[in-house]
């Protein structure tokens, strides 16, 4: 039986006809996007070499803020919801690098120069001597000991006050209302045909 | 027979010496057990040396990975802010560009939204070509590593 096509509110293009404008699917006006003022903070204006050179002590110094931010980022899957945590991360990094600049500027500069020039992939095994001087300076002035080499590759347990976000499609509490009841333990079962019921 | 002018070549008196047809085995230095023992020792030693070098390579890789993971929150925080700034710019640009089109709603194809079952404020990461929509095409090509093809 013939069904008339529903009337569309936008023009239907025939084959070969070009649309007047490129199709655009971006964010609607209903999306709450932060303004530029909310997004503009003082950034850490350092190169990747310096950041990599100072990474271990920086990660130890700002560990709590970093873990909080990364947990938020992974749980929420939404960059808009973790802006405050991100700002805390950046301000903590600025504080750390200001302290380093005050006390161990030359040591960090030497170490990062060595990292930059000794290999193509910032290999720290080429720069153990300058690294030792830098680590000792940080330990004396800031009191941060360099963590062992695999510290930041390990899984960490982080305690947070932030409530757990709801998962899309999963009801509150994680319990589905129409969950089937399991069989009772004393459910009468026939004798298994092939000896046991482990596989079949 | 005289008067031929040559002498027939004949076997030496008493005949040729007996032919060497017996197998002459080479001198054996090692038996089967010793061969296998040497093979085992050499293989074990080589594996130990290999594992030693591999461990040091793993250690270096883990150290570099740790350094990268330690600065990842800082880089991600900065990236997120830049990203959101650009997304806002894209939305404003679309609003300006499509102001003359009647019935056009920003972020939709006329009134057709992308998703219908999620709320209005649902976040998704835009596709790459959408993200570079109002940029120079060369930026998109370079970011997607096709600038050397096209």
- Please tell me whether residue B112 adopts helix, strand or coil conformation: strand
Residue A69 at interface with chain B, using a CB cutoff of 8 Å = yes
Backbone angles phi, psi at B72, to 5 degrees: -60, -45
- Please tell me whether residue B111 adopts helix, strand or coil conformation: coil
- Judge contact between A62 and A99, C-beta under 8 A: no
The reply to whether A133 falls in a domain is yes
As for the ipTM of the complex, it is 0.77
- Please tell me whether residue B109 adopts helix, strand or coil conformation: strand
> pLDDT tens across B75-100, in order?
999 999 999 999 999 999 989 988 99
Among A10-19, A76-85, B109-118, the range scoring the smallest mean pLDDT is A10-19
Task: Give the residue-averaged pLDDT of A5-23.
Answer: 51
Task: Determine the distance in angstroms separating the CA of A182 from the nearest CA of chain B, rounded to an integer.
Answer: 31
Give residue A19's pLDDT.
47
Residue of A173 and A20 predicted with greater confidence: A173
- Number of structural domains, chain A? 1
Can you give the residue ranges of every domain in chain B?
32-113
Spell out the SS3 assignment of A41-110: CCCCCCCHHHHHHCHHHHHHHCHHHHHHHHHHHHHHCCHHHHHHHHHHHHHHHHHHHHHHHHHCHHHHHH
A43, A66, A85 ranked by CB distance to B78: nearest: A43
Is residue A15 predicted with pLDDT exceeding 90? no
Maximum mean pLDDT: which of A2-6, A17-21, A104-108: A104-108
Task: Determine the distance in angstroms separating the CA of B95 from the nearest CA of chain A, rounded to an integer.
Answer: 9
The reply to whether A61 falls in a domain is yes
Enter the DSSP assignment of B147. Answer: T
Q: Which two tokens stand for residue B100?
A: 């003359």
Residue B93 at interface with chain A, using a CB cutoff of 8 Å = no
User: A66 is in which domain, residue-wise?
Assistant: 48-149
Indicate the helix (H) or strand (E) that contains B31: none
Interface test with B, best of A23, A27, A41, A63 (most B CBs within 10 A): A27
> pLDDT tens across A16-27, in order?
554 444 444 678
- Judge contact between A108 and A92, C-beta under 8 A: no
Does the beta-carbon distance from A124 to B64 stay under 8 Å?
yes
Give residue A85's pLDDT.
95
The reply to whether A98 falls in a domain is yes
Task: Give the residue-averaged pLDDT of A45-57.
Answer: 95
Give Cα B10 distance to the centre of its chain.
Answer: 75
Rounded Cα gap, residues A128 and A112, in angstroms: 12
Is residue B130 predicted with pLDDT exceeding 70? yes
The reply to whether A101 falls in a domain is yes
Does the beta-carbon distance from B107 to A52 stay under 8 Å?
no
Residue A45 at interface with chain B, using a CB cutoff of 8 Å = no
């Amino acid at each position: 039986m013939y069904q008339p096509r529903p009337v569309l509110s936008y023009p239907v293009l025939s084959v070969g006809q070009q649309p007047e404008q490129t199709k655009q699917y971006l964010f609607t006006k209903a999306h709450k996007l932060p303004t530029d003022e909310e997004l503009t903070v003082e950034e850490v204006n350092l190169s990747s070499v310096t950041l990599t050179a100072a990474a271990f002590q920086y990660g130890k110094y700002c560990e709590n803020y970093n873990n909080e931010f990364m947990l938020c980022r992974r749980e929420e899957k939404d960059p808009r919801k973790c802006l405050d945590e991100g700002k805390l991360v950046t301000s903590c990094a600025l504080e750390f690098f200001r302290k380093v600049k005050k006390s161990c500027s030359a040591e960090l500069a030497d170490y990062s120069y060595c990292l930059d020039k000794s290999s193509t992939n910032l290999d720290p095994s080429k720069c153990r001597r300058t690294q030792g001087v830098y680590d000792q300076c940080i330990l004396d002035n800031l009191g941060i000991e360099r963590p062992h080499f695999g510290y930041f590759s390990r899984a960490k347990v982080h305690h947070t006050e932030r409530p757990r976000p709801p998962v899309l499609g999963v009801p509150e509490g994680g319990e589905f209302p129409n969950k089937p009841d399991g069989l009772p333990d004393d459910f009468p079962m026939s004798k298994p045909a092939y000896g046991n019921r482990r596989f079949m | 027979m005289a008067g031929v002018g040559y002498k027939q070549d004949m076997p030496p008196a008493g005949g040729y010496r007996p032919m060497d047809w017996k197998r002459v085995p080479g001198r054996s230095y090692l038996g089967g057990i010793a061969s296998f023992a040497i093979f085992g020792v050499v293989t074990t030693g080589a594996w130990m040396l290999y594992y030693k070098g591999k461990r040091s390579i793993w250690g270096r890789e883990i150290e570099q990975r740790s350094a990268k993971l330690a600065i990842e929150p800082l880089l991600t925080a900065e990236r997120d802010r830049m990203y959101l700034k650009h997304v806002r710019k894209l939305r404003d640009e679309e609003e300006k560009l499509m102001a003359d089109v009647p019935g056009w709603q920003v972020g939709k194809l006329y009134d057709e939204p992308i998703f219908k079952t999620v709320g209005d404020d649902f976040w998704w990461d835009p596709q790459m070509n959408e993200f570079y929509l109002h940029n120079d095409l060369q930026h998109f090509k370079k970011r997607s590593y096709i600038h050397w093809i096209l």
